[in-house]
Chains A and B, each alone.
Chain A
């Protein structure tokens, strides 16, 4: 079998590219080293749907974030992925920072985002009454929203798989050799034979420089930048209504406080350059720095319980901009630091264009062969299954709450197990349902959810259809 395209890396960027290419008459394979899609940077970020207001004007990042942002808003609506239109309040805490606000607004306009406007100190506190003292000014960015980050990669991958893309999880590319017709032979581990392809896309995130070298590139090195984050209890959610941003520096967007679509409050990230690409450990110093920042920004947080802490690695390089380029039949998509989630669909479109220019025939499939999936709604703002009387009447499993903190029902866990890309482990189940992600961290439900996960009593497919039929 010779694939038309092999995509290396099943993060939000790789799955978006797979989804994009699934719209054409192509045979594609998506290779992911981990046992699930979206397990790297894609799962551990600030979950913000950016406008790109603070990008560097004229860069590829600026253009693809703007394009991807528009596409993802529309896609989330279509697939039912949770989004909250919170808006962001960028707060200046010193006179010097206040003096830079005009420049930030000007940069935003240069990036094509004109919704930004400056707000008075009074309006800052009117919008966010729980904010700590000392704000010196602010900017209101109404189109910075928060999104469910886990469901995005999963929706892209689900759409791709349903349209015929082959997803190979647990498959790491270990070497590349040239094949005839300008194509490649990819050695993979563990065990299986090589993957032959005509075109290859490197979307390997934190490993993208290593993969790039396999293809003969040497233009960049990944310099992982760790970001630690703290998730506060849902009971803290009334403390704020929008994303609270600091004035960014050249190095980082800084420590923000944001609502999550799951109903929590997020504080972070730190920014620390690390050597180890697998080091996603939190640190005592990182957590205490965040708590100190949180105390200043939103003093009420101090009284609230912490539900989770985690760290993610941004796939930064020595270059400021994205590293996206085609070299004959190979396209590398690297250096997608912290805007990958927002830009993903824009990047995918751009990559498809590059592949077309490189000679990949892009013949669209007939309409209907690729359709956006309907994803389980994991947000807190809209109705969840346990709140829907008709749904419970049709299928009582949606009334049986298994995870109490997050109010995840047995029906939702069953559906996740029977989905197109079933969870390989409990962590993957968490990302699909929110089960065990709550304040008790499995004190109450760990045993019960594990038992549901391990049990085969659940129907393998078509459970929901059967349930709907019963309710008539």
Chain B
């Protein structure tokens, strides 16, 4: 089997890239996905809010997944599902991939490869939560597949770990499946999703958020989950909470297995493959897009990342020889956790949507991002608010000022000047932070009856910025 481009993963990024590559005239585009159906995570996210920024309408997850798959197939991309890429050899001269499926083991030699393998939530074991190992402990991903794809009922009491957008999505799924959510638990001192989500959850199901708290022990009885110990991180007090289901949400990690085992350089921050603004990895001809390089953004952001990659891949295929110029690393400094993309090439191509994506480890108000290279300030952002787990966007207008022969570009945080009075309206996202949840969640909650009144208004006020245009009247001092 032959292909000009092999795309690994038929989620929003992979499918959008496939359609765009065909539109740009690349003849043979093959998309391989190991699941039985294309679409990625949206397949099992049955709420609305998908497609806002890439398809300019609002769809449910499954409808969005179908729309993307249909769009790719319609323009002639070949979609292979139930097909796992079990090996990838990429050394710069040629790539070769091994595809395993019910029809056997095949080798493909594509002209370029796009890795779009997405991300997943860290499970309980990876978070080192001690205790028994009973049935009833899961992630949102498993929960949603069991409920929405498997039609399972989960009755009893549930506790959710995490208070990100996806955590509220888990709450909706649990309610749909028949469980009653006791609380959402977060180690942070406040929740990280929109106030409207929390209010919606509180209004509809009376679900409280327990802040500064952690699940510190899991207790089973006869092999099933019976209770968990919740510790108040401020006072150190513990209490036992009876529950039948414990759902670990968020805490995303890119599915980087194929990238890492084929020898691509990884970024220490994102833990996905290191990519430049053209989404090229450390191996010429191998690109990466979507939540593999920024875990986790909303599905539409992942899709647009796929479209950006497709355009760069088309240029790569058309070019006589790939550029061998060294690339300048871009690093995020504490309290920032990571930045994506994390390299700048000599051509200084603008990234997807003209901006970099960052994550913070701490809550901060009035934080300015400062971009420096070799001590020189390339840019400063307006003051913005940092919330762990929520995206921070940084316009890439400073790219032209990067010295291609210089040292690493460092992005850090500058604290507000003492005595700053600028505190009004800071509960809103800023600097282009758009609405829309994480990949597994909706952009708004209009589908949920109870949440509707609250959320619809909030979503209206938080319509995303079109690329390149900044929202007026939101930034402090604007």
A residues adjacent to B (C-beta < 8 A) = 231, 235, 280-284, 286-287, 305-310, 386-387, 389, 392-393, 396-397, 399-401, 404-405, 407, 425-427, 439-444, 446-448, 450-451
Contact = CB atoms under 8 A, between A and B. Distances in A.
A235 B142 contact: no
14 contacts: A282-B131, A284-B216, A284-B217, A309-B128, A400-B82, A401-B34, A407-B84, A427-B223, A443-B123, A443-B139, A444-B141, A446-B145, A447-B149, A450-B152
A450 B152 CA distance: 10
B86 interface: yes
B257 A235 contact: yes
B261 interface: yes
Contact of B145 (A386, A397, A407, A448): A448
Contacts of A441: 123-126, 139
B105 A399 contact: yes
Interface string B302-332: 0000000000000000000000000000000
Contact of B84 (A231, A310, A396, A404): A404
B126 A305 contact: yes
B381 interface: no
A450 B150 CA distance: 9
B260 interface: yes
Contact of A443 (B120, B218, B257): B120
Contacts of B135: 426
A392 B105 CA distance: 8
B158 to A, nearest CB: 16
B130 A389 contact: no
A400 B102 contact: yes
B109 interface: no
Contacts of A231: 125
A280 B132 contact: yes
B100 A447 contact: no
B146 interface: yes
Contacts of B34: 401, 404
A90 B311 CA distance: 55
A440 B35 CA distance: 15
A447 B149 CA distance: 8
Nearest to B44: A447
Given A235-B260, A400-B101, A447-B146, A282 B130 contact: yes
Given A407-B86, A442-B142, A399 B101 contact: yes
Nearest to A404: B34
B130 A284 contact: yes
| Most chain B CB atoms below 10 A, which of A389, A405, A441, A448 | A441
B257 A392 contact: no
A430 B145 CA distance: 19
Interface string B168-201: 0000000000000000000000000000000000
Given A282-B130, A443-B121, 15 more contacts: A280-B132, A281-B218, A282-B131, A287-B128, A305-B126, A309-B130, A386-B86, A399-B103, A401-B34, A440-B123, A442-B138, A443-B139, A443-B142, A447-B149, A447-B150
Contacts of B105: 387, 389, 392, 399
Contacts of B84: 386, 401, 404, 407
Residue of B130, B152, B216, B217 with most partner-chain A CB within 10 A: B130
B219 interface: yes
B246 interface: no
A306 B126 contact: yes
A283 B253 contact: no
A456 to B, nearest CB: 16
B133 interface: yes
Given A399-B105, A440-B120, A287 B146 contact: no
Contacts of A400: 82, 101-102
A386 B83 CA distance: 11
Interface in B239-267: 253, 257, 260-261
B460 interface: no
A252 B472 CA distance: 67
Contacts of A444: 35, 120, 141-142, 145
Contact of A281 (B132, B139, B152, B223): B132
Contacts of A281: 130-132, 217-219
B141 A286 contact: no
A310 B133 contact: yes
A306 B128 contact: yes
B86 A447 contact: no
A447 B104 contact: no
Contacts of B125: 231, 306-309, 441
Nearest to B146: A447
Contacts of A426: 135
Interface in B123-171: 123-126, 128, 130-133, 135, 138-139, 141-142, 145-146, 149-150, 152
Contacts of A401: 34, 84, 100
A306 B34 CA distance: 24
Nearest to B82: A400
A235 B122 CA distance: 15
Contacts of A308: 125
A306 B120 CA distance: 14
B132 A307 contact: no
Contacts of A392: 100, 102, 104-105
A399 B34 CA distance: 11
B86 to A, nearest CB: 7
Nearest to B105: A389
Contacts of A305: 122, 126, 253
Nearest to A307: B125
A450 B146 contact: yes
Interface in B191-250: 216-219, 223
A442 B141 CA distance: 8
A286 B257 contact: no
A286 to B, nearest CB: 7
Contacts of A448: 145, 150
A235 B135 CA distance: 26
A448 B145 CA distance: 8
A441 B246 CA distance: 14
A447 B145 contact: yes
A33 to B, nearest CB: 13
Contact of A307 (B126, B150, B152, B217): B126
B168 to A, nearest CB: 18
Contacts of A447: 142, 145-146, 149-150, 152
Contacts of B103: 396, 399
A335 B139 CA distance: 39
Contacts of B217: 281, 284
B429 to A, nearest CB: 28
Contacts of A386: 84, 86, 100
A440 B132 CA distance: 18
B147 to A, nearest CB: 8
A305 to B, nearest CB: 5
A399 B102 contact: yes
Nearest to A288: B128
A286 B217 CA distance: 13
Contacts of B121: 443
4 closest pairs, A vs B, by CB? A441-B123, A447-B145, A396-B102, A446-B142
Interface string B95-110: 0000011111100000
Contacts of A450: 146, 150, 152
A89 to B, nearest CB: 25
Nearest to A440: B120
A9 to B, nearest CB: 19
